[in-house]
Structure 1
Amino acid sequence: MNDPIPSTDDDYDGAAFTPIYTAHVAVGGGGSAHGRATGRARSHDGALDLELRAPRELGGDATGANPEQLFAAALAASLHAVLSLLARRHSLDPAPITIGAAVAVGRDPAGGGFLLRTDVLVNWPGAARSTAAELLAEAAEACPYVKMSRAGAPATIRLAR
């Protein structure tokens, strides 16, 4: 028996995070032993299998996808899914909705390393602006990628044995 697809109406309150789905992706360093510059990303199920390349702005050859593009795609897809669900619940056509996401990487001014900045632009032709804005605000509260980009997400990073 398959579990039902989660919706924004479902009650997920509880004391602990409960995974619904976990993606597993491994990145290897390719010829230059640098995953971002010449790596390959593969999911455990084979659905994702692509070459990674750094963009020209970071010294790469830009002949493959980069992590910022992958995150922008994930952010836009997730928000699109939630907004489309809400549109259908309000008897609105989600087909014309398009979501553009920009993810910029830059130096962290607070002391080293890097930060990401995300910007999202939603286009919903034919929808009343007030209705679209209300549903977009609701979708942004429910979308896990928007939540993560606003507040961060817990991360466990450890060395394999």
Structure 2
Amino acid sequence: MQVLYTASATATGDGRDGHVRTSDATVELDLAIPKEMGGAGGAANPEQLFAAGYAACFHSALRMVARRSKADVTGSVVEAEVGIGPNGSGGFGLAVTLVVDLPAVERSAAQQLVEAAHQVCPYSNATRGNIDVALTVREAAAA
């Protein structure tokens, strides 16, 4: 693979109760363990950062495949839900649900676009076979 861009971030402090900063300082955050995992909460956590990155990346992939098929993705939204829990082997694992709103696209066509985006999205390709990723097309609101 020819690398087109490389991002770099550094974690300091106590891992999940520490601090992260990208090399260009565009992202700089304190981290805290979520209350649900026994921490204090009140700051970002790695799962939120992963969810934000996956949602943005998947949305870009979705818009790319939509352009190719000339689909109208006006008003499209991608929400990534990232869960963490014990993996049964002494460690932890992640599970992802991608919830996609495509209000201007008929449901079966929307599902096809989402499936196609899942094949080209770098996050989807990186996680495939490693974590469960569920794809959900949200029902359009009744007019």
Q: TM-score range by the shorter chain?
A: 0.7 to 0.9
Amino acid at match of 2:6: T
Matched, 1:20 2:7: no
Q: Which amino acid aligns with 1:147?
A: N
Per-residue displacement from partner, 1:23-53 (whole Å, max 9, x unpaired)? 1000101xxxx1212x111000111111111
CA RMSD of aligned residues (A): 1.3
Contact residue 73 and residue 104 of structure 2 kept, 8 A = no
Following the alignment from structure 2 to structure 1, what is the Cα–Cα distance between the partners of residues 39 and 127?
A: 25
- Between the two proteins, the alignment pairs up a number of residues equal to 130
Of Structure 1 and Structure 2, the greater strand share is in 2
Q: 1:63 aligns with which of 42, 45, 56?
A: 42
1:130, 1:108 → 2: CA distance? 34
8 A Cα contact 2:32 2:43, kept in partner: yes
Q: In the aligned structure 2, how far is the partner of 1:18 from the partner of 1:52?
A: 32
- Partners of 1:61 and 1:88 in 2: CA distance: 44
> Which residue does the alignment assign to 2:16?
36
Give the match for residue 114 of structure 2: 136
- Residue matched to 1:107: 86
90, 100, 116: which is aligned to 1:122?
Answer: 100
Q: Give the distance between the partners of 2:36 and 2:23, measured in 1 at CA.
A: 30
Higher relative contact order (CA 8 A, sep 6+): 2
Partners in 2 of 1:130 and 1:93 — Cα distance?
Answer: 14
Deviation at 1:58, TM superposition (A): 1.6
**1:33-84 deviations in whole A, cap 9, x for unaligned?**
x1212x1110001111111111001222211110001111111111100101
What amino acid does structure 2 have at the position aligned with 1:36?
A: R
Conserved? CA contact 1:118–1:149, under 8 Å: no
Unaligned runs of 5+ in 2: 131-143
Which one of the candidate residues 1, 17, 26 is aligned to 1:47? 26
- State the AA in 1 paired with 2:93: L
Q: Rg bigger for which structure?
A: 1
Residues of 2 paired with 1:23 and 1:120: CA distance?
A: 23
TM-score by length of 1: 0.75
Task: Tell me the secondary structure at the aligned position of residue 57 of structure 1.
Answer: helix
Distance of aligned partners of 1:86 and 1:103 in 2 relative to their CA distance in 1, 3 Å threshold: same
Equivalent of residue 123 in structure 2, options 128, 145, 150:
145
